Structure 1
Amino acid sequence: MSELPSVESALDTAIKQLEESGSDSPSLDAAVLLCHALQKPRSYLFTWPEKKLDNEQYDRFSQLLVRRISGEPVAYIIGEREFWSLPLKVSPTTLIPRPDTERLVEVALDKTYQQDGKILDLGTGTGAIALALASEMPKREVIGVDLKQEAQSLATENARQLGISNAIFYSGSWFEPLVAGTKFALIVSNPPYIDANDPHLVEGDVRFEPKSALVADDNGLADIKHIAENAIGFLENEGWLMFEHGYDQGELVREILASFGYQQVATEKDYGGNDRVTLGQFYHQQ
């Protein structure tokens, strides 16, 4: 066998291979995978660039690299993704938490940080949104619901590993697992909102993610309509409902919320300047 590469050499070679494979972040991908193979922090790559990999490290890194070159998301390969500065376990049964979703957390904190009352996260997946809100508002009870039992188990494990005790997770379809009469001051959701014919479903990382968490009927709006209608029975007076949605769905989601009687309806943009979060407040008639 030829001489094993140094950290710097292995990184350079991997970056070139990832560039050729079409990765949109080859340097970051290579660094994350090499750190995972070496079981070292990122600083190690800069501190010990001349250090030679041993056979086991080289084999492990090569295997990880092959998976990424084939298009598999880095988060699934290493089993982890950071969201809101929280390291979360991920798996192919859940969506990979994305930076744009942090906007939903920001809007929720901006509107409801000073309030009391329970918080509900529908379609919780890894528990990313629920755990971010629970970490910022430790005195409030946060409930996350996901259709998949595997997601509920994953979110529960993430809460345990992070030491977050004010978040609990249930398995079931949307509001089904909740006790009738339970009221929430805030309901958030990043539901499936992509149309089944959207060409992006066969591109990039999305190819590997569960379609059930991505695709909805009625041009991607079916689940948003269902949640908006049924949330009314679970919201406290003046409670907020907030959705993450597609970049081109802001106006449609505002119309949906308005049609069910929500007030203060507005859309917030993501970091790229696209419509991303739409919210509304519900006033029960006294």
Structure 2
Amino acid sequence: MLPSIREAQAYGRTCLADSNSPDVDVQYLLCHVLTCSPTRLLLDAETDLTEQQWQDFKQLITRRQTGEPIAHITGSRGFWSLDLAVNNSTLIPRADTELLVALALPKLQPGMRIIDLGTGTGAIALSIAHERPDITIIASDFHLQAVKLAQQNAQSYRLDHVHFFQASWLSACQPAQFDMVISNPPYIEADDPHLQQGDVRFEPLSALISGPDGLDDIRQIIKQAAICLKPGGWLLIEHGHDQSRAVQQLFSEAGFVQISAHQDFGGNDRVVIAQLTL
């Protein structure tokens, strides 16, 4: 006898009892298999799964039991107002990174030219592009597979005003080229024990680690941005929860002003923004 939606949920919760969020995990996976919204799980709780749906669901639950991220299992992750394709060539977009989008949008004016460095899935660039079709957006990544994934996501939403290229940070850019530089770069220390925990075990280390203190890439971006930004241009960088003071000092040493720190939705220091002197 095949299980009902309610029974399948109970099975999944039992299998994932050691997960940090078994209820949420089961909901995501069952909605993915049934191609439905969470509301249907409530309204049709006594409806039986088909044989194929039941086998598919059990397979996904088994993958999650090994610790594989939900986003890799389903192949997508919601970010801002978009649903983005995800694979193991990039970081999985995090909700905290939406803070960069929220801080960038009020500072944008028609005709501005901005660049998203280390774009990964394209989450930041595409979220801004979806809100502001009146600006030019460049998105770059060092890894070609990430560039291809971001392009795929842009095509899904017909965001033709986003332009992609492969490069290491701002190394291929010209002086005074941009009105805004925005980035969520690697910022984890090489020996951080958290690298052996949770979803990050399945993500590329090159997108996570940045030298002994986690600040190597941020140093490089700030130095290059001081050249590639127009006078008065803005730099927005995400960083680790305990790096805000160090990042603010790096901004100051590079000649930035109007430096401010901002907290993520959990109340942790997460982003520093500043303006290049006029």
Aligned to 1:136: 131
Q: 2:148 aligns with which of 136, 153, 157?
A: 153
Q: 2:258 aligns with which of 244, 248, 264?
A: 264
Aligned to 2:41: 45
The reply on whether 1:74 has 2:70 as its aligned counterpart is yes
Q: Deviations over 1:187-230 (max 9, x none)?
A: 00000000011111111111111110000014000000000001
Q: Deviations over 1:261-284 (max 9, x none)?
A: 111111111111111000111125
Q: 1:10 aligns with which of 4, 8, 11?
A: 8
Please state whether the residue corresponding to 2:181 is helix, strand or coil: strand
- Give the CA RMSD over aligned residues: 1.3
The reply on whether 1:54 has 2:50 as its aligned counterpart is yes
Aligned to 2:171: 176
Q: Is the 8 A contact 1:269 1:275 kept in 2?
A: yes
TM-fit CA distance, 1:174? 1.1
With 201-210 and 180-189 compared, the bigger mean Cα shift is at 180-189
Relative to the length of structure 2, the TM-score reads 0.96
Counterpart of 1:70 in structure 2: which amino acid?
T
Please state whether the residue corresponding to 1:237 is helix, strand or coil: strand
Q: Deviations over 1:223-251 (max 9, x none)?
A: 00000001122101100011000000000
Q: 2:115 aligns with which of 109, 114, 120?
A: 120
Counterpart of 2:179 in structure 1: which amino acid?
A
Relative to the length of structure 1, the TM-score reads 0.94
The reply on whether 1:195 has 2:195 as its aligned counterpart is no
Q: Is the 8 A contact 1:80 1:88 kept in 2?
A: yes
Q: Is the 8 A contact 1:170 1:177 kept in 2?
A: no
Distance in structure 2 (CA, Å) of the matches to 1:60 and 1:157: 26
With 41-50 and 196-205 compared, the bigger mean Cα shift is at 41-50
Aligned to 1:236: 230
TM-fit CA distance, 1:116? 4.0
The change in CA–CA distance for 1:77 and 1:40 in structure 2 (over 3 A counts) is: same
Distance in structure 2 (CA, Å) of the matches to 1:188 and 1:169: 15
Aligned to 1:220: 214
Please state whether the residue corresponding to 1:134 is helix, strand or coil: helix
TM-fit CA distance, 1:115? 5.8
Please state whether the residue corresponding to 2:262 is helix, strand or coil: strand
Aligned to 1:89: 85
The change in CA–CA distance for 1:281 and 1:182 in structure 2 (over 3 A counts) is: closer
Distance in structure 1 (CA, Å) of the matches to 2:66 and 2:208: 21
Q: 1:250 aligns with which of 244, 254, 258?
A: 244
The change in CA–CA distance for 1:182 and 1:254 in structure 2 (over 3 A counts) is: closer
Counterpart of 1:108 in structure 2: which amino acid?
A
Q: 2:203 aligns with which of 182, 203, 209?
A: 209
Please state whether the residue corresponding to 2:48 is helix, strand or coil: coil
TM-fit CA distance, 1:41? 2.8
Please state whether the residue corresponding to 2:16 is helix, strand or coil: helix
Q: Is the 8 A contact 1:171 1:177 kept in 2?
A: no
Gap regions ≥5 residues in structure 2: none
Distance in structure 2 (CA, Å) of the matches to 1:235 and 1:24: 42
Counterpart of 1:98 in structure 2: which amino acid?
R
Distance in structure 2 (CA, Å) of the matches to 1:205 and 1:245: 18
Gap regions ≥5 residues in structure 1: none
Distance in structure 2 (CA, Å) of the matches to 1:218 and 1:50: 54
Please state whether the residue corresponding to 2:271 is helix, strand or coil: strand
Q: What is the total number of aligned residue pairs between the two structures?
A: 278
TM-fit CA distance, 1:163? 1.9
Please state whether the residue corresponding to 1:220 is helix, strand or coil: coil
Q: Deviations over 1:138-170 (max 9, x none)?
A: 100111101111110110110110121221111
Counterpart of 1:174 in structure 2: which amino acid?
W
TM-fit CA distance, 1:181? 4.3
Q: Is the 8 A contact 1:262 1:282 kept in 2?
A: yes
